Structure 1
Amino acid sequence: MRYGNALRNAVGSPPTTPLIGIYDMYSASIAAQHYNGFFVSGFGFAASHYGLPDIGFIAWPDMLAFVDRLRLAFPEHHLLVDIDDGYVDAEVACHVVQRLERTGASGVILEDQRRPRRCGHADGKLILPLEEYLEKLQLVLSSRKDMVVVARTDATEESEILRRAAALAETEADVVLVDGVRSVEWIRKVRTVIGDKPLLFNQIAGGKSPRLSLSELTELGVDVAIYSTPCLFAAHGAIDGALSDLKTADGRLPDARKSGSIGVKGATELLEKNISRHHGILRPARV
């Protein structure tokens, strides 16, 4: 499998590698015009596919089907997939990892939360005993072939953050993530305690972590940054604004030619790329 090694090489080469959180095929189609790596966000997937918060509703067959569609449309993009806690059971986690790798996922993130789980930037998170998580992680690592595995801790108490980060760095996981890290100082502490193990940072609007540029993250020794929600939240704002304008205009649509907004032609041209990308050509839109 080449996808895991491609992501591993990107993560291992400066500067910080950005992976953009996408929540459906259309958001991925837009993101593909700007970035060559995606993060399949659990927050975005739960919101878009179920209309529910990120508290454990995702069924792994649904995630697998989504990744399969993504890989078909984006044969060269990095796909890092959020698998939460591995869907509770360690054997299920191993099965999902094997299926995702055969589907073409580049990597997965496995967290140490226990149910009921929460978004990594929410309050009230519960975590597994470290030994129990390490056992699950080791089974997942032994199940993958080439796939990148990110070991994630959701610990919030300072000494436990450092203890777990150090323990995760000692495993064969490719990358370590401390989710919800609250300051630049703590990024530096985690960077120190994990040694030369690659470090991932989660950028989420309105979350607990500081907003940092890629240049700043590179200086801090962060190897990869996931942007979980900019597409989802931008769509939220744009849809809300467009419908407010439509209501104000008594239901009259804006003239796309004058307003510069997207119309049928622009959308079709975007989606045509998901067909032609396989052939290395760009076909003109048929409208």
Structure 2
Amino acid sequence: MRHGNALREEVRSPGTTPLIGVYDMYSASVAAQHYNGFFVSGFGFAASHYGLPDIGFIAWPDMVAFVERLRLAFPSQHLLVDIDDGYVDPEVACHVVQRLERIGASGIILEDQKRPRRCGHAEGKLVLPLEEYLEKLNLVLESRQDLVVVARTDATEEADILRRAEALAETDADVVLVDGVRSIEWIRRIRKVIGDKPLLFNQIAGGKSPRLSLTELTELECQVAIYSTPCLFAAHSAIDTALGELKAADGRLPAFLTPGSIGVRASTELLEKNISRHHPPASALVSV
């Protein structure tokens, strides 16, 4: 099965599909032990690859190269990729979509922001005229073969949110995302105007949206949930703690004896899985 169709079937199955934000190969290696779907978050990638905030610094060849490395290590994982505004130009957006599909991405998110862009949960977002965004979106939809396309609006005015959500639902996009939604009541209002179109909910720690469980999201008829930053923010906290403890101990490494401690052996075993996923068991190679 193609990667796009595999994700599309997952989205259409009962319940809410969680996709975990990963920002580098190591975070993806850890996440793969818990979930079978990744979200390639622009927030996390900008932070990890450039050390910069998610305000438009990402160059599309860097994102494509990262997704290619992910697919090589994780041949079966769903990979939903944040491509921001398609890197401004509609033709570039189509080119990136075709490249991503060729290397095995499962889907992309295309937003209606205009430059200078912002994180979806930040203040000061500006959006393209709806007709201009729809023209770009439709070109992207025509350029894909089986790739899942999530149409995202970053509108902030109440009437514009509903107008755009309804318009996105009328396209051939597979899923609609209204980013920065502020309440359960707003999820219900958006759900009503988009009809039967699958709905995606974005959760980010410290963001504008409520913290909801998958059970709650299923009850609200949200078919997909992306978790943009749990790996990134957990790493931030853990690294800060570890280095603080190292400094306090005058540079002496702690003894890795407590349950859950990570040392060379555990780390290597984790990374070896990224090789073994491409090699079937010896028994599977024996013809009968």
User: What does residue range 26-105 of structure 1 map to in structure 2 within 5 Å?
Assistant: 26-105=26-105
Q: Which secondary structure state, in structure 2, belongs to the residue aligned with residue 278 of structure 1?
A: coil
Residue 261 of structure 1: how far off its partner (Å) = 1.3
Name the count of aligned residue pairs: 282
How far did 1:280 drift?
3.4
Counterpart of 2:280? 280
Is 1:218 the counterpart of 2:213? The answer is: no
* Separation in 2, partners of 1:123, 1:249: 41
Give yes or no for the alignment of 1:156 onto 2:162: no
Distance 1:45 1:265 in 2: 27
Distance 1:18 1:142 in 2: 27
In structure 1, the gaps of 5 or more residues are 283-287
Match of 2:108 in 1: 108
Residue identity in the other structure for 2:189: K
1:180-259 aligned at under 5 Å gives the runs 180-258=180-258
How far, CA to CA, are the matches of 1:260 and 1:144 in structure 2? 43
C-alpha displacement of 1:259: 6.0
Give the Cα separation in 2 of the matches to 1:260 and 1:130.
Answer: 50
Offset, 1:281: 4.5
CA offset at residue 14 of structure 1?
1.4
Moved over 2 A (4+): 257-260
Cα shift at 1:113: 0.1
Show CA shifts across 1:188-236 (max 9, x none): 0000100000000001000000000000000000000000000000000
TM-score of the superposed pair, with normalisation by structure 1: 0.97
The one-letter amino acid of 1:214's match is L
RMSD: 1.0
Inter-partner Cα distance in structure 1 for 2:260 and 2:171: 51
Distance 2:145 2:159 in 1: 33
Structure 2 counterpart SS, 1:221: coil
CA distance in 2 between partners of 1:14 and 1:125 (Å):
34
Sequence identity percentage: 83
Give how far 1:255 is off.
0.8
Name the CA distance, whole Å, in 2 between partners of 1:223 and 1:14. 8
Give SS of 1:279's match.
Answer: coil
Aligned partner of 2:193: which letter? V
Amino acid at match of 1:148: V
SS in 2 for 1:256: coil
Amino acid paired to 1:95: H
The gaps in structure 2 that reach 5 residues or longer are: 283-288
